[in-house]
A and B are shown apart, each in its own frame.
Chain A
Amino acid sequence: MKKAYLDNAATTPLLPEVLEAMLPYLREAYGNPQSLHEWGDEAREGIEEARSQVAALIGARPEEIIFTGSGSEANNFAIKSLAQAQQSKGKHVVISAIEHFSVLHSAKTLEKWGFEVTTVPVDGYGLADPEAVAGSLREDTILVSVMHANGEVGTIEPIASIAKVAKGTGALFHTDAVASAGTIPVDVAELGVDALSLAANQFYGPKGVGALWLKKGTRIIPFLDGGVQEGGRRAGTEDVPGIVGMGKAAELAQQDMTSRIEQFSALRDRLIEGLSSKIEHTILTGHPTQRLPGNASFCIEFIEGEAMLMLLSSKGVAASSGSACTSRALKASHVLTAMGIPPELAQGSLLFTLGLNNSDEDVDYVLDVLPPIVDRLRQMSPLYAKFIKEQGGGR
């Protein structure tokens, strides 16, 4: 059976070149980077090269990169540890309503610690409004965090404008660039931010490695206490192969970015156009143009996402959904909810994320197998039956 993986937002596969770069550090170059001998030197060199590669990807200095265990860790680190470091100046933090759980839940933890958190809304496209952020700022606002791009609906936020507003009051600005870094150009100076999170497995690097970029001179509380690793801010023996892999993946992402964007956008547009014309009562979620190159996200009316995923999976297609039924908590995606999408429509959420592993053939295959799946579930759906009755007859 044909297989098509269109779930690159969950994780991208590891590129063979990245694996090759990692292998020596899983074999002979096994030293601890903190050791003062040849083995240590070799491992340290690997890490420092990776630091330069990751820094180059986002226009930063190598010494400003702190490697972490994931993008989620980088977000936890930024939100909790920056807030703690700034708390003598104030205890107010601003985030957007569509942040990743690693930001949202970190902000909830801050509330438990006595901080105040304001959540700014987004519009129907998932865009945060710089004016709304401006309106939420107070004298005691110490940190603002708005994501660079949302992986679920693909919307790219106007971070440079938002950061400018926030910086005007002296608050620090963090952006979660996990969905965007390595995919679209990210330059920390152009964005005008103080801290930025990224993750290797979003750009063909390994899982379990991320990084927090922190502008030189920005005070932060250590996230893990222990040794002197990562400038004493994130203790624990470094994941050398993982970090080396992240570095190699960053180098390749930077080198191939233009061609990748072109390739992914073409696939995305083919899927969006095909699906919208082949399946009635479908809406594209997220912004039509300010959108990640590989993101094709929809809500398919009258049916539920998990059922679609299961039938797609039976045809060898991997996709994802923000429906309540697909979440452990049985709650519709907070992103779709924040965009004003009603719960019954959010139930029909279906997300395809395209990447290097995909071709036109994959897209055409999805366009072949999905319409009968949607039809079949609609024939089973009491909502669709009601809709048809209200329309006065069948199709």
Chain B
Amino acid sequence: MPIYSEKVMEHFMNPRNVGEIENPDGVGEVGNPVCGDMMTFYIRVDNNHLSDVKFKTFGCGAAIAVSSIVSEMAMGKTLEEARRITPALVAEELEGLPKNKYHCSNLGAQALNKAIDDYLKKQGKEVKSKRRRKDEKE
């Protein structure tokens, strides 16, 4: 029995939005190679909407699938909508993740949020740091 759902496999085999954005409006990097996974999200913001989302990921199959689905879920959303992409929603969208891979879905949501924080900071706006701090503890 395969450990991953068909949806995870599909996103792992054909990941969407891989790459970097030149002069991005926001960048969010989470994880580190020592703990296993590392994700970097790049966003372009137009009129409070995510007009482009790209990522680079060092990690396992789940980490790559999570990055791909998060980029897809976030694309075109308003910043507020994108903030509401939770790890649980990511896992649900992927038709489930093995228990020991749940942290990968946290990383995806965190990386996107960090990219949004980065954008807001560059704009001189206040960052809703409450959520971020909570995420970083995980």
A344–B34 Cα gap in the complex (Å)? 5
Contact call A304/B15, Cβ cutoff below 8 A: no
Contact call A328/B60, Cβ cutoff below 8 A: no
A19 within 8 A of B: no
CB distance from A380 to the nearest CB of B (A): 5
- Asked whether A380 and B60 contact (CB < 8 A) given A310-B12, A330-B100, A343-B33, the answer is no
Write out the residue numbers on chain A whose beta carbons fall within 8 Å of the beta carbon of B61. 306-307, 310
B59 within 8 A of A: yes
A330–B31 Cα gap in the complex (Å)? 14
Whose C-beta in chain B lies nearest to the C-beta of A378? B58
Per DSSP, chain A at the interface is helix
B56 within 8 A of A: yes
Most chain A CB inside 10 Å of its own CB: which residue of B12, B35, B36: B36
Write out the residue numbers on chain A whose beta carbons fall within 8 Å of the beta carbon of B33. 343-344, 347, 383
A304–B61 Cα gap in the complex (Å)? 9
Sorting the interface of chain A by its residue count into under 10, 10 to 19, 20 to 34 or 35 or more gives 20 to 34
Write out the residue numbers on chain A whose beta carbons fall within 8 Å of the beta carbon of B60. 304-307, 323, 325-326
A347–B12 Cα gap in the complex (Å)? 18
**How many residue pairs, one in A and one in B, have C-beta atoms under 8 Å apart?**
71
Write out the residue numbers on chain A whose beta carbons fall within 8 Å of the beta carbon of B15. 380
B113 within 8 A of A: no
Write out the residue numbers on chain A whose beta carbons fall within 8 Å of the beta carbon of B105. none
Sorting the interface of chain B by its residue count into under 10, 10 to 19, 20 to 34 or 35 or more gives 20 to 34
A310–B100 Cα gap in the complex (Å)? 17
Whose C-beta in chain A lies nearest to the C-beta of B98? A328
Write out the residue numbers on chain A whose beta carbons fall within 8 Å of the beta carbon of B93. none
Per DSSP, chain B at the interface is mixed
Contact call A382/B56, Cβ cutoff below 8 A: yes
Write out the residue numbers on chain B whose beta carbons fall within 8 Å of the beta carbon of A304. 36-37, 58-60, 63
Contact call A381/B36, Cβ cutoff below 8 A: no
CB distance from A349 to the nearest CB of B (A): 12
Write out the residue numbers on chain B whose beta carbons fall within 8 Å of the beta carbon of A314. 13
B43 within 8 A of A: no
What string of 1s and 0s marks CB contacts (under 8 Å) between B42-81 and chain A? 0000000000000011111111100000000000000000
B116 within 8 A of A: no
Q: Which B residues between 105 and 126 are near A, CB-CB below 8 angstroms?
A: none
Write out the residue numbers on chain A whose beta carbons fall within 8 Å of the beta carbon of B40. 382
Write out the residue numbers on chain B whose beta carbons fall within 8 Å of the beta carbon of A383. 33, 38, 58
Q: Which B residues between 1 and 15 are near A, CB-CB below 8 angstroms?
A: 9, 12-13, 15
Whose C-beta in chain A lies nearest to the C-beta of B34? A343
B135 within 8 A of A: no
Contact call B64/A380, Cβ cutoff below 8 A: yes
Whose C-beta in chain B lies nearest to the C-beta of A345? B33
Write out the residue numbers on chain B whose beta carbons fall within 8 Å of the beta carbon of A384. 58
Write out the residue numbers on chain A whose beta carbons fall within 8 Å of the beta carbon of B103. 330
Write out the residue numbers on chain B whose beta carbons fall within 8 Å of the beta carbon of A380. 15, 18, 56-58, 64
A188–B126 Cα gap in the complex (Å)? 72
Contact call B12/A381, Cβ cutoff below 8 A: no
CB distance from B92 to the nearest CB of A (A): 22
CB distance from B86 to the nearest CB of A (A): 22
Binding site for B on A (CB under 8 A): 302-307, 310-311, 314, 323-326, 328, 330, 332, 342-344, 347, 379-385
Closest 6 CB pairs of A and B: A344-B33, A325-B60, A306-B60, A382-B56, A324-B36, A382-B40
Q: A325-B62, A344-B33 are in contact. List 19 more A-B contacts (CB 8 A).
A: A304-B60, A307-B60, A307-B61, A307-B64, A310-B12, A311-B13, A325-B37, A325-B60, A330-B103, A343-B35, A343-B36, A344-B34, A379-B18, A380-B57, A382-B56, A382-B58, A383-B38, A383-B58, A385-B20
